[in-house]
Chains A and B, each alone.
Chain A
Amino acid sequence: MRVIRRIAKRLVRLALVLLCVALVSFGLMMVSPIDPVDAYLGPQMAQVSPEQRALIAQRWGFDEPAVVQFGHWLRQLVSGDLGWSHVYNQPVSEVIAQRFQRSVMLLGSAWLLSALLGFSLGVVAGAKEGTKLDKAISTYAFITASTPAFWLAILAVLLFSVTLGWTPTCCAGPVGVLNQDVTLVTRLHHLLLPVATLALLGIANITLHTRARMLELMRSDIATHAFAQGASRIDVAWRHGLRHASLPAITLAFASLGELFGGSILIEHVFAYPGLGQATVAAGLRSDVPLLLGIALFTALFVSLGNMLADTLYGVIDPRIKVEGT
């Protein structure tokens, strides 16, 4: 009974968060200076008469007041329909599903890599404080933490794609080949460089936080007591350090779970990777409200889920955090 109440409480809270996100995104789109009809027409704007414009506006429902438009969207959402994207001329759910598949491959593997590598590097650096290894890892983390993603991506394309020719320069598959004809190997080949770039940068944050927590532990009463029992530094790092250092790593990793859905706009742009990030930009620039709201909703959902997961994992690792009834 208590479990059911707890889950229900969380679901209601989640629904409220999603509603707020939708409201704010919708409000922002309404005050945006981009006219959806102009954006829809593009360069043919000049050839269209005011009557035809009015017809288009009526067809998409742009002539109705904002509140009514939002009401429409909300009613559709409740019946499970996310609406129609006029940029892609497809149902929003289909656009998101397609793009998400590609984004999740790119960002999911980068996320996993940076979380695992970042955590291990942080633990090692913290346990071996002051050694050459620690200095090398810290220097690397500090440099990459302050490197802009798009800049590193451009350099990577220049070096590996243009000069060396090891990887393709763009896209999720070869140009001119239908999506379903692309083999897995080709897909992975196209993923290689963007994933490497993202992971290389993502590692820094987790490494620095893990290392800081590790240093704190190695100087704590816990570590001194373990040393007094005859433990080596490796022993302390392995038995006590891993547990303590995993707490900040979990927070960071799961807080960035939302990025998995939101897409990495800059990276996708540099590599011309047709993921969700690009769809978001297109939706914003061309005033595709249903698509933008759909993406905002799912991003918020992922962030909430990520935080919930982090909370749960926190409770598993740190018994002091388990609170009854929340």
Chain B
Amino acid sequence: MLTIDHLTLQLPYYAHGHASWWKRRWATCLDDLTLQISAGEVHAVVGASGAGKSLLAYAIMGLLPPAARLSGQLNYQEKPLDAVRQRQLRGRELALIPQSLSALDPLVRTHRQVTWAAQRAGQPSTGARHAAQRALDHYQLDTQAQQAYAHELSGGMARRVLTAMAHVSQAQLVIADEPTVGLDPHQRQRVLDALRGLADQGKTVILITHDLRHALPVADRVTIMRDGKQVETALACAFQDDGTSLNHGYSQALWLALPDNAFTTATISKDKQGVSVA
């Protein structure tokens, strides 16, 4: 479905307060990432803030800033995914649920924004309105919420609107960037179930989150990222017991740091590239 081959991403910056502040430097944000994501799976990408999870999403969607330096190869359904193809597929085959709630336009009513999303996915105007209606109903947004502006929605409602906007596109690959932030356990479960449901229909879901605990119940495979590097990709079922089926100390540490596991093992095995987390 989607293969990511030695993907490296660099972004420019200028060192503040440095002797040569005028010199452009490059920060390596994604470092030699190789991933294979197959159809019908929920692939969780887990890592701390700043690990490069969102940039990975933007790289797949082709939404990186123009100054970004990208190397490596992206393949979508056995064909190279270059800028032109990304532009064609965005909104139709590829969908993104953005992390930031400010992605909603504050000057436009909810229902209209979802309709626009449907139109951008190639639906005619009346069909788009109906599709938007169905998507909003599906995520239990009532008439009042549909006629509301973004600032009148609660965080959870706004998040569901963003999900609905990705939903109307009928995309084959859905990238959900931190879709559960700010939701209560019940709503979080609904969103995660919805993503699982998409995968069960044969679509592919990349679930980006910093919380391993939320990813594990719905994910098929989990990629752990740290500082732009891929630490390990493992089956979700490898995260069990004391984590010894995981290859890397950082993954183990993440697993063991979960509240349920905190006291099952006193130490992290040092022989496997021991990385301790504070």
A130 nearest CB neighbor, chain B only: B66
A220 nearest CB neighbor, chain B only: B102
Chain B residues with CB under 8 Å of A13's CB are: none
| Given contact pairs A229-B91, A229-B121, A224 touches B102 in the complex (Cβ within 8 A) | no
B107 A319 Cβ-Cβ under 8 A = yes
Q: How far is the CB of A312 from chain B (nearest CB, A)?
A: 16
* Stretch from B17-25, B92-100, B179-187 that touches the partner: B92-100
B92 A243 Cβ-Cβ under 8 A = no
Interchain CA distance A220-B90 in the complex, whole Å: 18
A222 B120 Cβ-Cβ under 8 A = no
A319 B90 Cβ-Cβ under 8 A = no
Q: How many residues of B contact A (CB 8 A)?
A: 30
Partner of B98, one of A224, A230, A244, A319: A224
Q: How far is the CB of A217 from chain B (nearest CB, A)?
A: 9
B149 part of interface (Cβ distance < 8 Å): yes
A230 nearest CB neighbor, chain B only: B91
Partner of B63, one of A227, A239, A320: A227
B121 A230 Cβ-Cβ under 8 A = yes
Partner of A239, one of B98, B104, B116: B116
Q: How far is the CB of B154 from chain A (nearest CB, A)?
A: 16
A318 part of interface (Cβ distance < 8 Å): yes
Chain B residues with CB under 8 Å of A230's CB are: 87, 89-92, 120-122, 169
Interface residues on A, range: 20 to 34
B272 part of interface (Cβ distance < 8 Å): no
Q: How far is the CB of B144 from chain A (nearest CB, A)?
A: 14
Interchain CA distance A256-B251 in the complex, whole Å: 62
A189 part of interface (Cβ distance < 8 Å): no
* Residues of B68-116 contacting chain A, CB below 8 A: 87, 89-92, 94-96, 98, 100, 102-108, 116
Chain A residues with CB under 8 Å of B96's CB are: 225, 228
A-side interface mostly: helix
A221 B98 Cβ-Cβ under 8 A = yes
A228 B90 Cβ-Cβ under 8 A = yes
Q: How far is the CB of B120 from chain A (nearest CB, A)?
A: 4
A221 B103 Cβ-Cβ under 8 A = yes
B107 A244 Cβ-Cβ under 8 A = yes
B61 part of interface (Cβ distance < 8 Å): yes
A111-154 near B? 1/0 per residue, CB < 8 Å: 00000000000000000000000000000000000000000000
Interchain CA distance A222-B103 in the complex, whole Å: 4
B58 nearest CB neighbor, chain A only: A224
* Residues of A179-237 contacting chain B, CB below 8 A: 220-222, 224-231, 235
Chain B residues with CB under 8 Å of A220's CB are: 102
Interchain CA distance A220-B96 in the complex, whole Å: 16
Q: How far is the CB of A243 from chain B (nearest CB, A)?
A: 5
B165 part of interface (Cβ distance < 8 Å): yes
B107 A228 Cβ-Cβ under 8 A = no
Interchain CA distance A231-B120 in the complex, whole Å: 6
A317 part of interface (Cβ distance < 8 Å): yes
Q: How far is the CB of B252 from chain A (nearest CB, A)?
A: 35
Interchain CA distance A222-B98 in the complex, whole Å: 10
Interchain CA distance A240-B107 in the complex, whole Å: 8
Partner of B91, one of A221, A231, A243, A318: A231
A229 B90 Cβ-Cβ under 8 A = yes
A222 B104 Cβ-Cβ under 8 A = yes
Residue from A224, A230, A231, A320 whose CB has the most chain B CB atoms within 10 Å? A230
Interchain CA distance A60-B96 in the complex, whole Å: 77
B103 A319 Cβ-Cβ under 8 A = no
A235 B151 Cβ-Cβ under 8 A = no
A224 nearest CB neighbor, chain B only: B63
* Residues of B166-215 contacting chain A, CB below 8 A: 169
Chain A residues with CB under 8 Å of B98's CB are: 221, 224-225, 228
Partner of B102, one of A221, A244, A319: A221
B151 nearest CB neighbor, chain A only: A320
Residue from B91, B106, B120, B162 whose CB has the most chain A CB atoms within 10 Å? B120
Chain B residues with CB under 8 Å of A320's CB are: 106, 149, 151
A243 B107 Cβ-Cβ under 8 A = yes
B106 A227 Cβ-Cβ under 8 A = no
B117 part of interface (Cβ distance < 8 Å): yes
Interchain CA distance A320-B108 in the complex, whole Å: 11
Chain A residues with CB under 8 Å of B116's CB are: 226, 229, 231, 239
B107 A317 Cβ-Cβ under 8 A = yes
A235 B120 Cβ-Cβ under 8 A = yes
Q: How far is the CB of B109 from chain A (nearest CB, A)?
A: 9
Chain A residues with CB under 8 Å of B122's CB are: 230
Residue from A220, A229, A243, A317 whose CB has the most chain B CB atoms within 10 Å? A229
- Tell me the B residues contacting A by CB distance below 8 Å: 61, 63, 87, 89-92, 94-96, 98, 100, 102-108, 116-117, 120-122, 149, 151-152, 162, 165, 169
A sample of 16 more A-B contacts (CB under 8 A), given A222-B103, A224-B98, A225-B98, is A225-B103, A227-B90, A228-B63, A228-B94, A229-B120, A230-B87, A230-B89, A230-B92, A230-B120, A230-B169, A235-B120, A240-B105, A240-B108, A243-B105, A244-B107, A320-B149
Sample of 9 A–B contacts (CB below 8 Å): A222-B102, A225-B103, A228-B94, A228-B96, A229-B90, A229-B91, A229-B95, A230-B87, A320-B106
